[in-house]
Every structure is written in structure tokens, then in C-alpha cells.
Structure 1
Amino acid sequence: MRVLILGGDGYLGWPTALHFSQAGHEVAVLDNLARRGYDEELGVQSLVPIEDLETRVKAWQEVSGKTITSYAGDLLDADFVYETLRDFAPDAVIHHAEQRAAPYSMIDREHAVYTQHNNVIGNLNLLFAIAELNPEIHLVKLGTMGEYGTPNIDIEEGWLEVEHNGRKDRMLYPKKPGSFYHLSKVHDSHNIEFACRIWGLRATDLNQGVVYGLETEATKLDPRLSTRYDYDSVFGTVLNRFIIQAVLGEPLTVYGDGTQTRGFLDIRDTMECLRLAVENPADRGEFRVFNQMTESFSVGQLADLVAEAFPGPVQIEKLENPRVEQSEHYYNVKHTGLVELGLKPHLLSDTLIESLFDIVSSHKDRVNTEALTPTVTWKRPAKEAVTA
């Protein structure tokens, strides 16, 4: 199959390109390199050094003998989107190309507007291009479990059977997102479902949990193929932060009481979920949703796991939560669709915390400890009224 990966220079986009190329598909990547620009804006860097996209592509050809086509451009440029689809003629498009950090979207008005404009409009441009050029293209869109929030009922896979006043219907599962970023993903999901229902497109929405890990079979082949390791308080994940704090001998900073619970999965499972979704496409007119996670943990449980695994003393410190989110909440997520397609999950208890300690130790001189402290708050300060 011909697979176009949008956001192919990112944390997940790059190893996705390698995974599909390794599996024998013809692969192209598209990126506007905005993610690298966020690092410059925030004054941070990936813990593990990463090469530029051109070097990565050349290194993969040297290592594997396989070619990855590269397109430089922005989904906000509709003409570029149309030209790329015409030129590469993909069978499937994997859409990773969005601003992905909740804290980034909550910095201020400008960042909230940027996030929603970038994500929603870019996705709309893509939907129109697919509909007009080739409706047979299967769109595989990276969503997020954060679209659902933490409802006090089981979280189904995208759809909910409802009975109300004696009548029944099947509708999209109600969404309760927790940031302007997560709201942008909800808008995407609604727009994609509409396009499938009205235009007969085929799409799979992967509502993904928090991804942990760094290495895949492909990225381990050469240091030039490494992907990002984000640890800062804006783009870094909680597990990445805990690993670094343990290695540096700093307290593991748990936001709030630590009972906030989320879904997680290994980066290798993310690669397989994407492959399974692409190789088993949705039907024409179908908006298919998979909850892409394998386990759930509270923040406090993750801190305890890291403390138990680290071969030295570890302290755990609770901070005031900069986010507005529920604690002590119900969290039961249905996630059977990808397992039924053949996913064999890696579990956190069986894998990688120890290996991450080694990776962080070898690059600890690159850590900016100030970046570990949360600087973005969900609580907007009240401002005095402006008078003429």
C-alpha cells in the first residue's frame, strides 16, 4: 500500500514511517517542522538528540535500502495538500500533523487560537482534498482519549447506544474534553464523522492514550533514526518527567492528589495499532473509532512504579495541580477493537522503565531542570475591567 504520514517528523510520525516502510509499504512523510519550532519558542530540546528530516530519510535508505519520500509544507495551505495527494496518490493517510500538547493550548489566548486554527482547519483541508481527489483513501486520524474526559460511566469505543423516552439510537459518545487542544480533537472527530456520513469517506479515529517509550525495532538500527524524548512541563509526558527526576535525584512531582487516571500504551503498540488500522481499512461511509490504549494508571501509581524500579532512593512530592481536572474519578475504558484485529500488547510492568533509566542517564547533561516545573495554569486570573 501507499501510505502518506502527515507529521512524519514528530515523536510518533517518524517511527510510524519507519514501521510502515519496514513492513513493505511505500511511504511518504509530510511535515512543516512546526514541532521543532515549539522547542525554540519554549527554550527546550529533546533529551535524545534528533537529526533533521533529510538526514533521517537518508539514514533509513542506507540502513534498510528502502526509500521514504518527503514533502515539506503545511496543511493550512490547501493547494499544497491537494498537490501532495495528487503526486503521491496514497491508499491511506495517517494524520499526526497537529499541535498535540494540552498545556501549549492553555498558555494564553494566542496559543489557544493557534491550536484550534492549526488543527481544525488543517484537518478540514485534508477532508476536502480526499473527498474531491479520491474518496477511496482511508484516513487514519490520531485522536486522543482526552476527548472523552472522565465521565462517570464506561467509555465505549466512539459510539453509544442510547435509549431515551422509549426510543433508541446510536450516536457519537458524549465528549468532555479538558483543554483547548482536546477540544480541537473533538471538532476533528465531528468533522470527520460528518464527512463519512455525507460524502461516503472511510476513516478510523484512533483515540490514543498517553504513549511511553522511545525505541522501536526500526529506530534502534541507527542513532540517526532516533525519535524525540520530551520531558518538559509543556510537551513532556508524566512518565518521562518521573524517569528524569529519578535519575537526577530530584523528587517526582505529582500534580494534585495523584488519583487522576488515564490510559497508556507502549510506543511499539502504537506502531502496531496504526498498521492494523491501515491494513484493515474502514468501509466506505464508515467512521470507525478505536480506543488505542492497553492499560490505565493513576499519576500516583506511575510515581510508585518508577520509585520501585529505580535502583536508588526516590522521593515523591505533591504539587498544586496547575490543571482543572477531576480526582478520585471513575475510569473504565472499552478497548477491544484493536485486540480483535490482532494487537498483542506490551505491558508497562513487563517492559521499559529500566531501559529508560539507562537512556536518560546517558543524556542527563542535556536536561534543563527549570523546564520540569509547571508554568502553565488552567485557571485564568481575573482581570480588572478596563474603563475609558
Structure 2
Amino acid sequence: MRVLILGGDGYLGWPTALHLSDAGHEVAVLDNFVRRQYDHELGVRSLVPIEPLRARLDAWHEVSGKRLTSYVGDLLDAEFVAATIRGFRPDAVVHFAEQRSAPYSMIDRKHAVYTQHNNVIGTLNLLFAIAEENPDTHLVKLGTMGEYGTPNIDIEEGWLDITHNRRTDRVLYPKKPGSFYHLSKVHDSHNIEFACRAWGLRATDLNQGVVYGQQIPQTARDPRLATRFDYDAVFGTVLNRFVIQAVLGEPLTVYGSGGQVRGLIDIRDTVECIRLAVEHPAEPGEFRVFNQLTEAMSVLEMAKVVANQFPGPIEVEHLANPRVEQASHYYNVRHTGLVELGLRPHLLSDTLLESLFRIAKEHRHRVDRAALRPTVRWRRTSSPVRS
């Protein structure tokens, strides 16, 4: 199959491109490199050095004998998006090309507006390009479990059958997102569902949990193929941050009581979920939703897993929660669709964190300790609270 990866230079986009290429697909990557610019804006960098895209592409050709096509441009440029779809004619488009950080979207008005404009308008341009240039293309869109929030009922896979005043219907599951970033993803989901219903497009929305890990078999074949390892409080995921803090001998910083429950998924399972979705496309007119996680646990439980596997003493520090969220809550998520397609998940309890500890130790000299502390607050004051 011909697969176009949007955001193909990013943390998940790059390893997904290699995983699909290794599986025999003809892969193209598209990026505007804005994720690298966020590092300059925030004064941080990936723990693991990453090569420029051109060097990555050459390295993959050297180790695999396969070439990836590359496109450089922005989804906000509608003509560019249409020309890319028209030129490559993908069977599937995998859409990672969005600003993905909740804290980044909550810095101030400018960052909130940027996040929603970038994410929502870019996806709309993509939907129109697919509809007008190649309507049979299957859109595989990376969503987030954060769209649902933490409702006091079971979370279904995207849809909910309801009965109201003795009448029944099937509706998109109600959303209660927790940041302007998560809100942008909700808008995406509604726009994509409408395009499927109105235009007959086919789409799979993958509501992903917190990703941990940095290597898949393909990226481990050459250091030049490494993907990002973000640890800072704006873009770093919580479990990766805990690993860095353990290696540095610092307390694991848990926001509030740590009772907030999150869905989790290993990066190796993320790329496999994408492959399964690509190779088993939705039907024309279908908006299909999979909850892309393999298990759920509280933030404090994650800290305890890291502490138990790290070969040394670990302390936990409870910080005032900079976010607006429930301290503890009900959380029961249905996530059977991808397992039914063939996913064989890695669970955190079965995953050896030694590889992550090793990577963190090797690159500990690159850590900015100040970047580990939260600097963005959800509640508004007269000016953003940043240290």
C-alpha cells in the first residue's frame, strides 16, 4: 500500500514510517519541522540527539535498501496539501501533524489560538484534499484519550448507544476535554465524522493514551534513526519524565495526589496499531474509532513501577497540580478493537525499563533539570504563571 505519514519527522511519525516501510509498504513522509522549532522557543531539546530528516532518510536507505519519499510543507497551505495527495495518491494517510502538547496550548491566548488554528484548519484542508483528489483514501487520524476526559461512566470506543424518552440512537461518545489542545482534537473528530457521513470518506480515529518508550526494532538498527525522547514538563510524557528523574537521583514529581488515571501504551504498540489500522481500512462512509491503549493506571502507580524497577533508592515528591482535573476518578475504558485486529500488547508490568534507564544514563549530560518542573498553570491569573 502507498502510505503518506503527516508529521513524519516527529516522535511517533518517524518510527511509524520505518515500521510501515519495513512491513513492505511504500511510504512517504511530510513535515514542516515546526516541532523542532518548539524546542528553540522553549529552550529545551530531545534527550537523545536526532538527525535532520535528510540524514534519517539516507540512513534508512543504507540499512534497509528502501527509500522513503519526503515532502516539506504545511497543512495550513491548502494548495500544497491537495498537490501532495494528487501527486502521491496514497491508499492511506496517517495524520500525526498537529501540535500535541496540552501544556503548550495552555501557556496563554496566543498558544491556545495557534494550537486550535493549526490543528483544526490543517485537518480541514486535509479532508477537502482527500475528498477532491482521492476520495477512496483511508484517513488514519491520531486522536487522544484526553478527548473523553474522565466521565463517571464506562468509556466506549467512540460511539454510545443511548435511550432517551423511550427512543434510542447511536451518537458520538460525549466529550469533556481538559485543555485547548484536547479541545482541538474533539473538533477534529467531529469534522472527520461529518466528512465521512456527508462525503462518504473513510476514516479511523485512534484515541491514544500516554505513550512511553523511545525505541522500536527499526530505529535501533542505527543511531541516526533515533526518534525523540522528550522529558520536559511541556512536551515530555509523564513516564518518560519519571525515568529521567530516577536516573538523575531526583524525586519523581507527581502532580497532586497522583490519583489521576491514564491510559498507557508502549511506542512499539503504537506503531503496530497504526499498521493494523492501515492494513484493515474502514469502509466508505465509516468513521471508525479505536481506543489505542493497552492498560490504565494512576500517575502514582506509574511512579511506583519506575521506583520498583530502578536499581536504587527513589523518592516521590507531590507537587501542587498545575492542571484543572479531578484528583481521583472512575476510569474504565473499552479497548478491544485493535486487539481483535491482531494487536499483541506489551504491558508496563512486563516491560523491562532497563533500556530506558540505559538511554537516560547515556544522555544524562543533555538534561536541563529546570525543564522537569511544571511552568504552565491551567487557571488564569492577571498574567501566565511561568518560572
> Fold conserved (TM > 0.5)?
yes
* Partner of residue 308, structure 2: 308
Once residues 91 and 79 of structure 2 are traced to their aligned partners in structure 1, the CA distance between those partners, rounded to angstroms, is 20
Once residues 216 and 251 of structure 2 are traced to their aligned partners in structure 1, the CA distance between those partners, rounded to angstroms, is 29
Please state whether the residue corresponding to 2:193 is helix, strand or coil: helix
Contact 1:28 1:69 in 2 (8 A): yes
Task: Give the letter aligned to residue 300 of structure 2.
Answer: G
Contact 1:253 1:318 in 2 (8 A): yes
Unaligned runs of 5+ residues in structure 1 are 384-388
What pairs with 1:40-189 in structure 2 (closer than 5 Å)?
A: 40-189=40-189
* Partner of residue 19, structure 2: 19
Task: Give the letter aligned to residue 24 of structure 1.
Answer: G
Task: Give the letter aligned to residue 46 of structure 2.
Answer: S
* Partner of residue 204, structure 1: 204
Once residues 217 and 370 of structure 1 are traced to their aligned partners in structure 2, the CA distance between those partners, rounded to angstroms, is 32
How far residue 352 of structure 1 moved from its aligned partner, in angstroms, is 3.4
Please state whether the residue corresponding to 1:41 is helix, strand or coil: helix
- Structure 2 residue 336 is matched with structure 1 residue 336: yes
Task: Give the letter aligned to residue 208 of structure 1.
Answer: Q
How far residue 382 of structure 1 moved from its aligned partner, in angstroms, is 4.6
* Partner of residue 386, structure 1: none
* Partner of residue 235, structure 2: 235
Task: Give the letter aligned to residue 357 of structure 1.
Answer: F
Number of matched pairs: 383
Task: Give the letter aligned to residue 191 of structure 1.
Answer: N
Once residues 353 and 64 of structure 1 are traced to their aligned partners in structure 2, the CA distance between those partners, rounded to angstroms, is 28
Q: Deviations over 1:43-100 (max 9, x none)?
A: 0000000000000001000000001000000000001001111111100000000000
Contact 1:211 1:267 in 2 (8 A): yes
Please state whether the residue corresponding to 2:332 is helix, strand or coil: coil
Task: Give the letter aligned to residue 366 of structure 2.
Answer: R
Task: Give the letter aligned to residue 104 of structure 1.
Answer: Y
Please state whether the residue corresponding to 1:330 is helix, strand or coil: coil
What pairs with 1:171-320 in structure 2 (closer than 5 Å)?
A: 171-320=171-320
Q: Deviations over 1:244-266 (max 9, x none)?
A: 11111111110000000010000
Once residues 217 and 249 of structure 2 are traced to their aligned partners in structure 1, the CA distance between those partners, rounded to angstroms, is 30
Once residues 310 and 345 of structure 1 are traced to their aligned partners in structure 2, the CA distance between those partners, rounded to angstroms, is 23
Q: Percent identity?
A: 76
* Partner of residue 9, structure 1: 9
Once residues 313 and 264 of structure 1 are traced to their aligned partners in structure 2, the CA distance between those partners, rounded to angstroms, is 25
Once residues 352 and 104 of structure 2 are traced to their aligned partners in structure 1, the CA distance between those partners, rounded to angstroms, is 28
Q: Which region of structure 1 is more displaced relative to structure 2, 353-362 or 198-207?
A: 353-362
* Partner of residue 380, structure 2: 380
Q: Deviations over 1:18-44 (max 9, x none)?
A: 000000000000000000000000000
Contact 1:213 1:352 in 2 (8 A): no
Contact 2:50 2:228 in 1 (8 A): yes
Task: Give the letter aligned to residue 308 of structure 1.
Answer: N
Task: Give the letter aligned to residue 368 of structure 1.
Answer: D
Task: Give the letter aligned to residue 93 of structure 2.
Answer: V
Please state whether the residue corresponding to 2:142 is helix, strand or coil: strand
Contact 1:105 1:181 in 2 (8 A): yes
4+ residue segments displaced more than 2 Å: none
Please state whether the residue corresponding to 1:136 is helix, strand or coil: coil
Task: Give the letter aligned to residue 320 of structure 2.
Answer: E
Unaligned runs of 5+ residues in structure 2 are none
Please state whether the residue corresponding to 2:227 is helix, strand or coil: coil
Task: Give the letter aligned to residue 204 of structure 1.
Answer: T
Task: Give the letter aligned to residue 379 of structure 1.
Answer: R
Please state whether the residue corresponding to 1:192 is helix, strand or coil: helix
Q: Which region of structure 1 is more displaced relative to structure 2, 218-227 or 352-361?
A: 352-361
Task: Give the letter aligned to residue 121 of structure 1.
Answer: I
Q: Deviations over 1:251-299 (max 9, x none)?
A: 1110000000010000010011000000000000000000000000101
Please state whether the residue corresponding to 2:263 is helix, strand or coil: strand
How far residue 134 of structure 1 moved from its aligned partner, in angstroms, is 1.2
Task: Give the letter aligned to residue 86 of structure 2.
Answer: R
Contact 1:209 1:262 in 2 (8 A): yes
Once residues 193 and 113 of structure 2 are traced to their aligned partners in structure 1, the CA distance between those partners, rounded to angstroms, is 23
Once residues 153 and 212 of structure 1 are traced to their aligned partners in structure 2, the CA distance between those partners, rounded to angstroms, is 26
Q: Deviations over 1:99-144 (max 9, x none)?
A: 0000000000000000000000000000000001111000000000
Task: Give the letter aligned to residue 296 of structure 2.
Answer: S
Once residues 286 and 98 of structure 1 are traced to their aligned partners in structure 2, the CA distance between those partners, rounded to angstroms, is 23
Once residues 302 and 192 of structure 1 are traced to their aligned partners in structure 2, the CA distance between those partners, rounded to angstroms, is 33
Contact 2:86 2:134 in 1 (8 A): no
Please state whether the residue corresponding to 2:162 is helix, strand or coil: strand
Q: Deviations over 1:206-234 (max 9, x none)?
A: 00000101110100000000000000000
Once residues 91 and 337 of structure 1 are traced to their aligned partners in structure 2, the CA distance between those partners, rounded to angstroms, is 21
Once residues 134 and 60 of structure 1 are traced to their aligned partners in structure 2, the CA distance between those partners, rounded to angstroms, is 29
